[in-house]
Amino acid sequence: MPELPEVETVRRGLARLVVGKKVTDVQVLNAKSFQASEGDAKAFLVGAEVIAARRRAKVLILDLSTDYSLVCHLKMTGQLVFRGDEDWAAGHPTDSFVASLPDRSTRIEFDFADGSKLFFNDQRKFGWVKLLPTAEVENLDFLQKVGPEPLTGDPELPKEFIQRIRRRNGTTIKAAILDQTVVAGIGNIYADESLWMAKVHPATRVRDVSDAKLKGILAAAIEVMTKSIKSGGSTMKNYIRADGTKGNYLDKFANVFRREGQPCPRCATTIEKIRVAGRGTHICPHCQRLKP
DNA sequence: CACTTGACCTGTCCGC
DNA sequence: TGCGGACAGGTCAAGT
């Protein structure tokens, strides 16, 4: 799914497109996708204004004027797509990924007072939107456990990262950086890209990686994700920005992810796809060697 | 406690 | 062309 750069890109789109709009109706097409009591939806969502669009880890938070918030996890295939009125549609980029909405993956539709709409689409139905009091958002189990944000520039981050990842000394470095309690936001794409950049084999045990190398992996992850946000994230298949357009990080910058069979940009060795931590994993077998 | 695996769903692609 | 199996950007609940 959307990893941190994709979720952040969606957040920026929502900040531009839906903050300031008043919700007039909500239609739930798949009950499991929307977790809220009917009473709460009527009392605290309908009639509310969206006042802020925030993100923590891969979780999106739309704060409402009622002191409630819509909290959303896109998981693998979730999308939040905004559609404005006809005038807006006329000026819409021609590479729009979602032609007409709602479509068969639409699970929730939010209507705004000016006639515009926000659609929650999710092919695989793993994602969710919850309505809960703003003050309770931080109490969600996931947000209680999640590790530090990687892109804030906090000078304490490397220290905290090392501390947390050392709890996972027995597992592989790839499993460890995918663990959201170690550091927030890294997913399968940026795990592979970061480990390639840092020249570490994904199946290396954490205990066999020095603190200095771990800091190098963190620095690589920060660099890769920062760069991705600048290109609007990575589109594999389902990910799109809030305005319905694709991100182009993968085409422009991916070095190994989904590039099996192609030459490594550093040494020209053929990139391989293997399986690590139960996930498809892309490596350069020359740059990323596993110590015996 | 920490690690690995399967489950949650739908869709697509690949080999027979 | 049809069918079964593997796989897909994430997390969680089980199992060991």
Where are the domains positioned within chain A?
Answer: 4-145, 157-283
CATH level 2 (architecture), domain A157-283: Orthogonal Bundle (1.10)
CA end-to-end span of chain A? 33
Strand B: which of residues 4-43 in chain A lie with Cβ below 7 A? 32
The per-residue pLDDT for A1 is: 58
Please report the pLDDT score of residue A240 as a whole number.
82
Please list, in sequence order, all residues whose beta carbon lies within 8 angstroms of the beta carbon of residue A78, skipping any fewer than 6 positions away. A1, A2, A72, A120, A121, A122, A126, A127, A238
Strand C, nucleotides covered by protein (CB < 7 Å): 7-12
A172 CB contact with strand C at below 7 Å: no
Which nucleotide comes closest to A277 if you measure CA to C1'? B4
Known catalytic residue: A193? no
* Closest alpha carbon to C1' of B8, residue: A126
- Annotated catalytic, A150? no
- A252 counts as catalytic: no
Whole-Å CA distances, A166 to A38, A160, A257 = 44, 10, 26
Q: What pLDDT is recorded for position A13?
A: 95
Protein residue minimizing CA–C1' distance to C6 = A280
Query: Which residues in range 14-53 of chain A are in contact with strand C, contact meaning CB within 7 A of any of its atoms?
Result: none
Looking up tokens 């479509």, which residue turns up?
A: A103
Q: Are strands A34-35 and A128-133 parallel, antiparallel or unpaired?
A: parallel
Q: Which of residues 243-282 of A touch strand C (CB under 7 A)?
A: 275, 279-280
Q: Residue type at A114?
A: D
d(C-alpha A230, C-alpha A273), whole Å = 27
Residue A94 has a pLDDT of: 46
Low-confidence ranges of chain A (pLDDT < 70): 1, 85-99
pLDDT score of A234: 84
Q: What is the pTM of this model?
A: 0.95
* Closest nucleotide to A257, Cα to C1': C9
Q: Which has the closest alpha carbon to A178: A200, A194, A154, A160?
A: A194
Architecture of domain A4-145: Alpha-Beta Barrel (3.20)
Whether A11 sits among the annotated catalytic residues: the reply is no
Give the closest nucleotide to A179 (alpha carbon vs C1'). Answer: C11
Q: What are phi and psi of A139, to 5 degrees?
A: -85, -5
Task: Given the residues A55, A58, A168, A174, select the one marked as catalytic.
Answer: A58
Q: Say how far apart CA A84 and CA A91 lie, in whole Å.
A: 10
In angstroms, the CA of A182 and the C1' of C14 are apart by 22
Each residue of A14-59: pLDDT tens digit?
999 999 999 999 999 999 999 998 889 889 999 999 999 999 999 9
Q: How far is residue A158's CA from residue A130's CA, in Å, rounded to a whole number?
A: 33
Q: Which two tokens stand for residue A181?
A: 């309690």
Chain B positions with an atom below 7 A of a protein C-beta are 1-6, 8-11
